[in-house]
Amino acid sequence: MSKKINLRIWRGDVNSGKLEDVVVEANEGEVVLDVIHRVQATQMGDLAVRWNCKAGKCGSCSMEINGKPRLACMTQVANFNEDETITITPLRAFPVIKDLVTDVSFNYKKAMEIEAFSPPADLKPGQARMQQIDVERSQEFRKCIECFLCQDTCHVIRDHEENKKSFAGPRFFIRIAELDMHPLDMLKNRKKKAQEEHGLGMCNITKCCTEVCPEHIKITDNAIIPMKERVVDVKYDPVRWLGSKIRKREGIV
């Protein structure tokens, strides 16, 4: 059973743009990406949209639907009222390229700034042994599909372009946490670098990254706050710091 729905789609490029109204058919069970494709096929042949898997696993079709950062392939049309106009815009934290496609290269630059996994120097290939309970915290963060919805909604860069220089963003805080919690990661000063080079201290815990994550990673509770506490261990807790000097304590490198 199909019905007509009202869409407002942002059309434009880096110079200018505007929201354009369109009425399109939607079938039962379809998602927003389906109706965007129908608009592209029937009414706006040059509409630019990035997509790939249509299964919520590639992170390509990130956009803002009624002002909320979402994956278009995971947003059911049936979730909206029949008389409601669905507004679709590109991600508003990044430079626009065309229509619904934005330039997310900021994120790849930040990814290169994160220090890589550093296993013990004498560990030979095939020798690593660890128990499940030691890696399950890190495994949660490996679910990330790099849709960058968390980066898009984070007000530190969404509302302050100038902070992009000094702030890595929630996606990369979970990467740092993943490594810092890994039993075989030996890099010294990962915590201090998180605070001083990657801008962990700029996060004010408003949890928007957690709210928009399509993989339901508890970014704030399981990554950012634990990393903030680890930073306190090495930078703001003289008792812990003294204890680490008197006798080597685990997890405070």
CA distance 6 to 19: 12
The Cα 181–Cα 172 span in angstroms is 14
State the minimum distance, in angstroms, from the CB of residue 191 to another protein.
10
Extract the tokens encoding 34. Answer: 């389906």
Pair 253, 240: CB distance under 8 Å? no
- Which of 110, 171, 198, 230 binds another protein (CB under 8 A)? It is 230
101: phi then psi, degrees, rounded to nearest 5 = -105, 125
**Least distance from C-beta 220 to another protein, angstroms?**
8
In angstroms, what is the minimal distance from the CB of 4 to another protein? 19
Residues 189-218 that bind another protein (CB under 8 A): 199, 201-208, 211-212
Asked if 82 touches another protein (CB under 8 A), the answer is: no
Structure token digits, residue 198: 């990657």
Q: What is the CA radius of gyration of the chain?
A: 22
- The residues binding another protein (CB under 8 A) are 10, 12, 14, 16-19, 64, 66-69, 84, 87, 89-90, 92-96, 102, 130-131, 133-134, 152-153, 155-156, 158-163, 181-183, 199, 201-208, 211-212, 220-221, 225-226, 228-233, 235-237, 250-252
